[in-house]
Amino acid sequence: MPFEYPMEESRRSLDRMWEDVWRLVEQLRLMEGRLAEEDAKKLAEVKKRFAALESASGSRRTSSTGGGQHKIPIGRLDSSSTATVMTATVDGITSLEDGVAVYLTNGVITSAANFTLNINNLGAKPVYQSIAAAGRVSTTFNSAYTMLFVYNETRVAGGCWDMYYGYDSNTNTLAYHVRTQQTSRKLGDRLSRYLFLFTQRDGTLVPSYTVSSGNGTIGTSKTLNTGKAFDPKLPIFYYGTSTNVSAGSMPGGTYLWRQYSACEMRYAWNVGTTLTADTPVWVRCVPNADGTVQLDGNDCIVQALPSAEDGKVYIWLGVAYGTTGYNIELDLEHPVFEFKEGRLQRWT
């Protein structure tokens, strides 16, 4: 066996080590190529799936003015619509399913209660208010309005349209009135027609006038309710009907108005035709030490505030209007003022 010098043996070992290193590098390169190929396949699959999703959602997306957002179709009631049956032709609606929505503009003014809506001859369906507990829409919407209708399969048997964003017509007084629905408001005195009611701290209502008998159409039969203290910061109501209610009973909630456009002041305050139109109306009261007030005599309805301190407080009711000179519009809010320390200011 030939003799090998140590240097030569070391060089051979080094050559073998480098061969092992290069084999490892080649294996790593092959592995990297396979990984890159697998990654490319995965990326292509993701792109393919995304394209499929884009294609599937194309029917629910707009490509022009909608900016890619969902759009509810807009239609107009047909000219053949009547007060009880409204019809419309709307592109894109082929069946009635839960959640189908459409905006409709009224082309005819109608005012019949419990009307139906028939879109694309898919069936005449009743129209309900969108509020959960509300019933059929009692008056139709004005011709200038565009309303949202959403089909509801389960609300009533056979399905119905829910009408959103309120409604209005020339007969819908709720569009500019505010009333209470509850009857749980006890009367402290007998109530006759068209009176104002003030609230005591125990919730009892105090009519502006008391009437011992009859319906209060004659001013001399009524007595101003000056002896009852009430809180001017609590609700003020207008009783908008002619039905008499006995003391201790509860008036119908649908006749108690917080805001009302035509308060009949001849019955409520015996003012005759003395009100000046387009001018505020105040009720003058005497303040009590506990923060309550009482009506201040038969001339307590005034249309001007004091210019000097008089120890009285003035509750804003609303504004007189028209040429009749006795009607006012009752406002929802009723700030209280007094003249004190040389100026008019809010009473606290």
One digit per residue, the tens of pLDDT, for the chain of length 348 reads 555 555 666 666 666 776 766 677 677 666 666 666 766 676 666 666 656 655 554 433 333 334 444 578 888 888 888 878 889 999 889 999 888 889 888 776 665 678 889 999 999 999 887 765 667 876 666 666 778 899 999 888 899 998 875 544 434 444 456 777 667 788 888 888 889 999 999 999 999 988 877 777 777 778 888 889 999 999 999 998 888 888 888 887 678 888 888 888 888 887 777 888 888 999 999 999 999 999 998 889 999 999 999 999 999 999 988 767 788 989 988 999 999 999 999 998
User: Residues 255, 334: one domain?
Assistant: yes
Predicted TM-score of the model (pTM): 0.54
CB 105 within 8 A of CB 145: yes
User: Residues 221, 303: one domain?
Assistant: yes
3-class state of residue 245 by DSSP: strand
User: Residues 219, 168: one domain?
Assistant: no
3-class state of residue 206 by DSSP: strand
Residue 15 in domain: no
Integer Cα distance of 191 and 26 in angstroms: 104
User: Residues 191, 153: one domain?
Assistant: no
Give the residue from 175, 209, 240 where a domain finishes.
175
Residue 254 in domain: yes
**Could you tell me which of 324, 199, 332, 209 has the C-alpha nearest to residue 261?**
332
User: Residues 126, 198: one domain?
Assistant: no
Residue 327 in domain: yes
Residue 53 in domain: no
Give the residue from 175, 194, 224 where a domain finishes.
175
3-class state of residue 241 by DSSP: coil
User: Residues 187, 158: one domain?
Assistant: no
User: Residues 79, 130: one domain?
Assistant: yes
Domain that holds residue 128: 74-175
Give me the DSSP letters along 7-56: HHHHHHHHHHHHHHHHHHHHHHHHHHHHHHHHHHHHHHHHHHHHHHHHHH
Residue 258 in domain: yes
User: Residues 134, 278: one domain?
Assistant: no
User: Residues 341, 193: one domain?
Assistant: yes
